[in-house]
């Protein structure tokens, strides 16, 4: 905390105790303003936390923030709700004493949010198991349920708590949550039937109408429009832009499931809520003789159905009352006003008792389970009191009287406990206790609560007094009984100036926080809070289990008058005081900065009003009555030891001696401080500020010294690390090299030994003695083969294998050749494939048999040797659908006389024709072709052998073609006669007619000659072709 003092001119001080002018209210508020302007919403008054509502989300409630405050000393870091939560939790764990946190403030100041933050802190940071996680969820989910049924929109706050709440959180010896219990105080039941302008009824009514599905609303006979219900429109504010009733309804339904409400219980609960709305719409009429009757039978029927009571009995109870006089019962009719009051009283009673049942149900879900075996001694408790702050409205009534009485008691408790803790701390430290002057508000508490003489007792007496009583008679009774009290004033007892500010129906109490005028109208009715006996009887007979639990039969039988509302509140407050007195308290005071809920706006008048009513100045004066600052010796010495040469850098003696040497060096005067047994007490904030400023001025010098020391230490440590690392690396490297050499030698010897042994057994079957050698031979061959594989199908080279691998080598060679062939074939284009097929056929026919074949191998076969325009159009038309597949120019020799005639040989798919210009001279079907004869020399002679069945049919054809290899190959392939090609080495016989043969003789010569030879033979001289 001390570290923030240097910025105090900008952000103020974190603890009001450190204010120089602590008696000045203006200084107090200015410090609040500075911190609020910097979004620093939390400030301490000693151990009291003051919280200002920022009306916006601040990034200070994350899980990281929770961890930051967890286990940290209270004053070590900046003020926060988590700091007081953690300090309370640690005190409970270490001291094994129950704790409580009292949260108070005006409506809209952020009390409910503060309690939520505390619960969330415990749920996140405390140890948990599966049961405790469920319990933590129920603790957190109890908030939206209680807010729905107990909170409402007011002029000051859209989510104002209209009841006081005290929650006990139980922890086991390990510090884990294990149970909880809630007490509720003074629910504002009058809000059920009446709201001021601009205010709303309790949230649950609007959430049900807005968020409930159509089936549910139909079951409850409700309409979705809140304007349809009298109890929801009196404030003329059924919808609020800042509140999403639909979303809140979903949250409430989920929370009810988490807490453990059954479906039936939820339905019964919603029946009651709906019945209150229908009850508000139940209207009355007045007969001629003054009798009252119900005019809205449908609404009354809905109420009876939802409450589970008899409709006629309910109608009778709403319009009549039962009186008992001298042991006899009488039924008396109610007038119109009395019937309306009875209806409203029933609505308030039903809602109020249902709220109490709801709290009981939540307590059952939070209670310690039977299976968890813990004694009471093993458990500790942290209580959370979220209660209304001091209220001063334009018109203050019975509710404000009770609320302000509660705050008087809490202020009395606070002063008493604060002074006690201060005195105990002084005595523990051996410092003389100095009497503290403060305002003791016991006189005001006695004025309100004293037996027989207090205001509450007088109010009860007036309610019980027979005869005509009214609120004015109560006021007169107050004037007679406590009229002389210095803190009590009425219009009758006041002086002239005060009378002008008071009406005749008011009395004024001078509270510790200021003067408040109370209007007595309604005091007696609200204190009576009675429900007609016959209405109770009807409710006792309800089939709704919740109502039958809330309205006991004993209540009707018992003739004893029930306790008044003020006395009930007084007794419950006394019990609360006993609970709080048994615990170690911590305090959170909440302040709202403006009435318009705007972030960043600070209304000084409003804040001053709250500072006064919260008693913050009184708190500060009590805290500052002795010493403004106190710290343990070790913390003080640790922070300020640089300011004294004797204590810097370390003090090795007793802590008290070190602190004494330090303050003497700083020049503290005797009246400025005291040394206790374990703490130093500083009286004036100025002394602390001077010390903090001196430390701030010393920091540059300290920083230089620390930097020098750190750099020297760092470099020395760095050198030592490097030197050590070098030695380790060197030794490790040498060892690794030696191990590697030894391992290499050992592996080499084993390898040589296995290799030699394998060589000796190389001719044996594969076994343990030769496996390595044989594997090596195989591996070496495969490795060599991988590098020397043939690259194409024409490459016939292959590495020579070992005798062991001969068979495998041949198999691999075949596979490789097949693989290369497949790859080659896949790369061949269709036209080249056709070419290759023709070349293969030519090779099969002519290789090593025809002299001119080698000369043709390197030449491509053409699709045709004739251009299309060289073939007569008339011939093409004659062929019809048969397309010419190949054409070539040839010379035909007549069978008689061997006269040469130029012709065209055209091949189609089914036949071949000889063409003379535009005329087809001879057609030769492939099916009839008997054979094809050529010589073995380098000539172009071809004989096509055709059948000859009669003299008229043309027989064998003698042709000469320059491209004889190409022409014969194509003809043989088209006619599928490759096996019918004959290659004759000397002569060829052919049929001239059916009975006569001709002969072609072939001889070698210098050039090609075709002429008629001896004996009528055809002599062909073929030249010799050299192939290079």
- Distance, in Å, from the CA atom of 511 to the CA atom of 219, rounded to the nearest integer, reads 51
Smallest CA-to-CA distance from 202 within 192, 214, 211 is with: 192
802 is catalytic: no
Query: Within the chain, how many helices (H) and strands (E) appear?
Result: 35, 31
Query: To the nearest 10°, the Cα dihedral for 312, 315, 321, 326?
Result: 0
DSSP conformation class of 979: G
Q: Name the percent of the chain in helix, strand, coil, to the closest 5.
A: 50, 15, 35
- Distance, in Å, from the CA atom of 332 to the CA atom of 320, rounded to the nearest integer, reads 5
Q: List, as one string, the DSSP characters of 195-234.
A: --TT--SBHHHHHHHHHS-HHHHHHTT--S-GGG-HHHHT
Smallest CA-to-CA distance from 149 within 252, 228, 251, 254 is with: 252
**Strands in 53-161 per DSSP E:** 99-105, 151-152, 160-161
Q: How many CA atoms lie within 13 A of 327 on its CB side?
A: 0
Q: List, as one string, the DSSP characters of 416-454.
A: HHHHHHHHHHHHHHT----PPP---THHHHHHHH-TTTS
Catalytic residue among 47, 78, 143, 157: 157
Radius of gyration of the chain (CA): 59
85 is catalytic: no
What the block records as the tokens of 990 is 């052919």
108 is catalytic: yes
- Distance, in Å, from the CA atom of 971 to the CA atom of 742, rounded to the nearest integer, reads 80
Catalytic residue among 43, 112, 151, 647: 112
Q: Which residues pair with 960 in a beta bridge?
A: 891, 941
112 is catalytic: yes
Q: Pinpoint the alpha helices (H) of 240-262.
A: 245-259
107 is catalytic: yes
- Distance, in Å, from the CA atom of 513 to the CA atom of 412, rounded to the nearest integer, reads 12
Query: To the nearest 10°, the Cα dihedral for 644, 648, 652, 657?
Result: 10
Q: Which residues pair with 915 in a beta bridge?
A: 904, 920
Catalytic residue among 51, 87, 160, 441: 160
Strand 151-152 with 160-161, pairing:
antiparallel
DSSP conformation class of 641: G
Smallest CA-to-CA distance from 70 within 42, 89, 95, 51 is with: 89
Smallest CA-to-CA distance from 4 within 851, 533, 567, 696 is with: 696
Nearest-5° Cα angle at 640, 636 to 645: 125
20 is catalytic: no
Q: How many CB atoms lie within 10 A of CB 1010?
A: 20
324 is catalytic: no
Please write down the HEC assignment for all residues of 4-18: HHHHHHHHCCCEHHH
Catalytic residue among 391, 399, 422, 618: 391
Catalytic residue among 150, 235, 352, 389: 389
Query: To the nearest 10°, the Cα dihedral for 653, 655, 657, 662?
Result: 110
| Residue 1021, H or E segment | strand 1018-1023
407 is catalytic: no
Strand 629-632 with 488-490, pairing:
unpaired
- Distance, in Å, from the CA atom of 918 to the CA atom of 545, rounded to the nearest integer, reads 122
Catalytic residue among 108, 110, 676, 998: 108
- Distance, in Å, from the CA atom of 823 to the CA atom of 825, rounded to the nearest integer, reads 6
Nearest-5° Cα angle at 966, 960 to 968: 60
Is the CB of residue 224 less than 8 Å from the CB of residue 238?
A: no
Smallest CA-to-CA distance from 155 within 191, 104, 101 is with: 191
Catalytic residue among 31, 151, 161, 586: 161
Catalytic residue among 107, 125, 519, 586: 107
Residues with catalytic annotation? 107-108, 112, 157, 160-161, 389, 391
């Amino acid at each position: 905390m001390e570290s923030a003092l240097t910025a105090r001119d900008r952000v103020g001080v974190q603890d009001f105790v450190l204010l120089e002018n602590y008696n000045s209210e203006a200084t107090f508020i200015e410090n609040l303003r500075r911190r609020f302007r910097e979004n620093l919403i939390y400030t301490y008054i000693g151990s009291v936390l003051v919280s200002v509502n920022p009306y916006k989300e601040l990034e200070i409630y994350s899980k990281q923030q929770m961890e930051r405050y967890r286990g940290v000393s209270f004053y070590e870091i900046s003020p926060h709700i988590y700091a007081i939560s953690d300090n309370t939790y640690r005190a409970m764990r270490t001291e094994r004493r129950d704790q409580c946190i009292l949260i108070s403030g005006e409506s809209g100041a952020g009390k409910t949010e503060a309690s939520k933050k505390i619960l969330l802190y415990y749920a996140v940071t405390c140890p948990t198991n599966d049961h405790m996680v469920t319990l933590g969820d129920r603790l957190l989910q109890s908030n939206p349920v209680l807010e729905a049924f107990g909170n409402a929109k007011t002029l000051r706050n859209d989510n104002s708590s209209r009841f006081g709440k005290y929650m006990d959180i139980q922890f086991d010896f390990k510090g884990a949550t294990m149970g909880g219990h809630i007490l509720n105080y003074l629910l504002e039941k009058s809000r059920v039937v009446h709201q001021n302008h601009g205010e709303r009824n309790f949230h649950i009514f609007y959430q049900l109408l807005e968020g409930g599905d159509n089936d549910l609303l139909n079951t409850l006979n409700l309409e979705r429009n809140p304007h349809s219900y009298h109890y929801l429109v009196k404030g003329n504010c059924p919808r609020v832009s800042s509140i999403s009733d639909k979303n809140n309804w979903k949250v409430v339904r989920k929370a009810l499931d988490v807490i453990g409400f059954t479906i039936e219980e939820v339905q019964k609960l919603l029946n009651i809520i709906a019945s209150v709305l229908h009850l508000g719409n139940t209207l009355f009429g007045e007969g001629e003789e003054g009798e009252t009757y119900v005019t809205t039978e449908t609404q009354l029927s809905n109420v009876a159905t939802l409450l589970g009571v008899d409709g006629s009995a309910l109608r009778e109870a709403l319009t009549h009352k039962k009186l008992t006089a001298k042991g006899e019962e009488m039924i008396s009719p109610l007038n119109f006003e009395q019937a309306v009051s009875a209806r409203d009283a029933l609505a308030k009673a039903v809602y109020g008792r249902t709220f109490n049942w709801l709290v009981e149900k939540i307590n059952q879900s939070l209670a310690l389970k039977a299976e968890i075996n813990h004694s009471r001694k093993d458990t500790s408790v942290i209580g959370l009191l979220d209660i209304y702050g001091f209220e001063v409205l334009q018109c203050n009534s019975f509710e404000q009287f009770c609320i302000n009485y509660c705050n008087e008691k809490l202020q009395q408790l606070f002063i008493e406990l604060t002074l006690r803790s201060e005195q105990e701390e002084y005595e523990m430290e051996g410092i003389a206790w100095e009497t503290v002057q403060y305002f003791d508000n016991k006189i005001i508490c006695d004025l309100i609560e004293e037996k027989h003489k207090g205001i509450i007792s007088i109010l009860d007496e007036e309610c019980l007094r027979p005869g005509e009583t009214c609120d004015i008679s109560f006021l007169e009774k107050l004037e007679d009984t406590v009229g002389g009290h210095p803190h009590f004033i009425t219009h009758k007892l006041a002086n002239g100036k005060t009378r002008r500010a008071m009406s005749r129906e008011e009395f004024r109490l001078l509270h510790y926080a200021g003067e408040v005028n109370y209007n007595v109208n309604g005091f007696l009715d609200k204190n009576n809070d009675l429900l007609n006996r016959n209405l109770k009887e009807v409710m006792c007979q309800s089939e709704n289990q919740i109502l039958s639990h809330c309205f006991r039969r004993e209540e009707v039988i018992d003739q004893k008058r029930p306790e008044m509302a003020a006395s009930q509140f007084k007794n419950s407050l006394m019990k609360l005081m006993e609970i709080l007195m048994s615990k170690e308290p911590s305090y959170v005071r909440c302040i709202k900065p403006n009435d318009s809920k705007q972030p960043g706006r600070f209304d000084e008048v409003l804040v001053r009003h709250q500072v006064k009513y919260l008693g913050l100045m009184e708190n500060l004066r009590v805290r500052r009555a002795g010493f403004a600052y106190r710290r343990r010796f070790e913390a003080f010495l640790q922070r300020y030891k640089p300011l004294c040469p004797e204590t810097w850098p370390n003090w090795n003696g007793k802590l008290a001696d070190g602190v004494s040497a330090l303050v003497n060096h700083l020049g503290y005067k005797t009246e400025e401080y005291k040394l206790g047994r374990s703490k130093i007490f500083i009286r004036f904030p100025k002394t602390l500020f001077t010390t903090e400023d001196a430390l701030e001025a010393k920091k540059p010098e300290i920083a230089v010294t620390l930097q020098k020391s750190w750099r020297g230490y760092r470099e020395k440590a760095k050198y030592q690390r490097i030197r050590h690392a070098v030695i380790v690396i060197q030794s490790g490297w040498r060892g690794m090299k030696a191990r590697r050499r030894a391992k290499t030698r050992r592996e080499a010897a084993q390898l040589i030994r296995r290799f030699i042994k394998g060589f000796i057994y190389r001719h044996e079957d594969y076994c343990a003695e030769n496996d390595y050698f044989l594997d090596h031979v195989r591996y070496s061959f495969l490795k060599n083969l991988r590098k020397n594989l043939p690259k194409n199908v024409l490459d016939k080279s292959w590495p020579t294998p070992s005798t062991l691998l001969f068979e495998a080598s041949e198999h691999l060679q075949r596979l490789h050749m097949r693989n290369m062939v497949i790859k080659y074939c896949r790369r061949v284009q269709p036209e080249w494939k056709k070419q290759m097929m023709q070349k293969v056929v030519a090779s099969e026919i002519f290789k090593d048999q025809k002299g001119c074949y080698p000369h043709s191998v390197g030449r491509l076969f053409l699709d045709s040797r004739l251009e299309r325009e060289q073939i007569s159009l008339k011939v093409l038309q004659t062929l019809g659908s048969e397309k010419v597949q190949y054409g070539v120019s040839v010379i035909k020799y007549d069978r008689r006389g061997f006269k040469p005639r130029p012709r065209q040989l055209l091949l189609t798919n089914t036949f071949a024709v000889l063409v003379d210009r535009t005329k087809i001279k001879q057609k030769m079907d492939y099916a009839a072709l008997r054979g094809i004869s050529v010589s073995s020399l380098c000539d172009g002679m071809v004989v096509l052998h055709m059948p000859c069945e009669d003299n008229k049919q043309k027989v064998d054809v003698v042709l000469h073609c320059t491209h004889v290899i190409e022409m014969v190959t194509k003809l043989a392939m088209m006619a599928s006669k490759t096996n019918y090609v004959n290659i004759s080495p000397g002569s060829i016989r052919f049929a001239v007619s059916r009975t006569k043969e001709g002969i072609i003789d072939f001889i070698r010569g210098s050039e090609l000659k075709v002429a008629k030879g001896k004996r009528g033979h055809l002599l062909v001289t073929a030249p010799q072709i050299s192939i290079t």
